[in-house]
Amino acid sequence: MRHVKTKWVTILRSAESTPRPRLDDVAAAAGVSTATVSLVLRGVAGPSAATRQRVAATAARLGYRPDRAASALASRRSRLIGMVMDIRNPFHAELVEDLYEAADRHGYNILLSTITRSHDETRAIETLLDSHSEALILLGTQVPTRRVAALARQLPIVVVGRPLPSAARVDVVRTDDHDGLEQAVGYLTRLGHRHIAYIDGGKGIVSAVRRRGYQSAMHHHHLDDQINVIRGGETESSGASAAPTVMQEQNRPTAVLTFNDRCAMGLIETLVRARVDIPGELSVVGYDDSPIARLAHVNLTTVSQNTRELTEHAMTALIDRLDNGRTHHVDVVVPPQLIVRGTTGPPPR
């Protein structure tokens, strides 16, 4: 262990003593001007293909990395986009991965601030503001509209996954949740289901939107008398807690929609332990198409939100604000898609 420790200390000291390659080092080694190197590394048109290839190979050989701190100081821009996410939400994790890719393509960096049991959304946002973020992306925010609008007057903000009134003048990118619930209810009715219940997501704003989407879809299919909203929440435990209510209903449902995939998983696990056949006795539909829903042993029918399209629109909205000076707000609505898998089937005879 002492030998290994000594080896790593030697490596670290060697790295510290080796000067970091600079732009003019790359230029000298490649036989071009520093201006040409700058154009190539920033992807700006001008240098020939051969010059670009030579500069890129030289930069890689020397181990050159742009000094982002120095660039930010010179331009008085941090090129940091702050993002608030719920660390317990697998759908947020998928959005973050796509947003990192989109930010890289536009030359921006993502700075994450997470919501946890002891770190609420307000504190997460304050952390990003203190870190000199140029803009914020709020995923499924629960912050009151008034507060979001006030923040948007300080710096560009894009809210992903939650509708906001037009008067707030905040950029929004969201899924059409009403369409998502309509697709799910319509599919179940075509299978022959009429007793279709919905496990609610709690008190949140997105929960209210999806609840209304379920009720509207049931009304559209002339099933007003079968509307059945069961108390739930956003987690697996919420779905598990709702399971006894689902099975003890006097007019027991033959299909259940859930606020999200996590709730669906908690419901399914509890019912399978009670030897309820899914989908033979009860069909279950989730929402989000999170990675766990796609696992072979889960195989959950769910409403997919197109994370790639959501993130592309979110990043485009920010770039238009930051680099192109757009001042009017946008509300981009992305269509969802029902993904049919193994947890749904015809109602029991």
Q: How far apart are CA 297 and CA 214, in angstroms?
A: 27
In this predicted structure, what is the pLDDT of residue 269?
A: 96
- Helix axes 90-105 and 307-322, enclosed angle (nearest 10): 50
Mean pLDDT to the nearest integer, 212-236: 96
Closest CA to 288 of 93, 84, 30, 10: 93
pLDDT tens digits along 22-74:
878 888 888 888 878 877 876 767 788 888 888 888 888 887 776 554 554 44
**Whole-number percent of the chain with pLDDT over 90:** 52
CB 140 within 8 A of CB 85: no
Question: Diameter of the chain by CA atoms?
Answer: 82
- 283: which 2 tokens? 């069909």
Question: 36: how many CB neighbours lie within 10 A of its CB?
Answer: 20
What local confidence, expressed as pLDDT, does residue 77 receive?
64
Q: Is the pLDDT of residue 17 over 80?
A: no
94: pLDDT strictly greater than 70: yes
Q: Please, which pLDDT band fits residue 335 given cuts at 50, 70 and 90? A: very high
**Domain range annotation of the chain:** 2-66, 68-349
Query: What average pLDDT score do residues 120-149 get?
Result: 89
* The pLDDT value given to residue 159: 95
Poorest-confidence range of 16-25, 30-39, 187-196, 211-220? 16-25
Under 8 Å between Cβ of 278 and 343: yes
CATH topology of domain 2-66: 434 Repressor (Amino-terminal Domain) (1.10.260)
33 phi/psi in degrees, rounded to 5: -80, 160
Above 60 in pLDDT, residue 3? no
Distances (CA, A) of 256 to 196, 208, 236: 6, 17, 15
The whole-angstrom separation of Cα 4 and Cα 52 is: 41
Which residue from 120, 111, 91 is spatially nearest to 261, judged by alpha carbons? 91
Q: Tell me the whole-structure pTM to 2 decimals.
A: 0.76
Q: Is the pLDDT of residue 11 over 80?
A: no
Asked if the model's pLDDT at residue 188 lies above 50, the reply is yes
pLDDT tens per residue across span 236-289: 999 999 999 999 877 899 999 999 999 999 999 999 999 999 999 999 999 999
Q: Please give the pLDDT value at position 91.
A: 87
Mean pLDDT of the chain: 87
Instruction: Specify the higher pLDDT residue, 13 or 222.
Output: 222
* Architecture of the domain delimited by 68-349: 3-Layer(aba) Sandwich (3.40)
Q: Is the pLDDT of residue 14 over 50?
A: no
Q: How far apart are CA 109 and CA 315, in angstroms?
A: 12
The pLDDT tens digits for 160-182 are 999 999 888 999 999 999 999 99
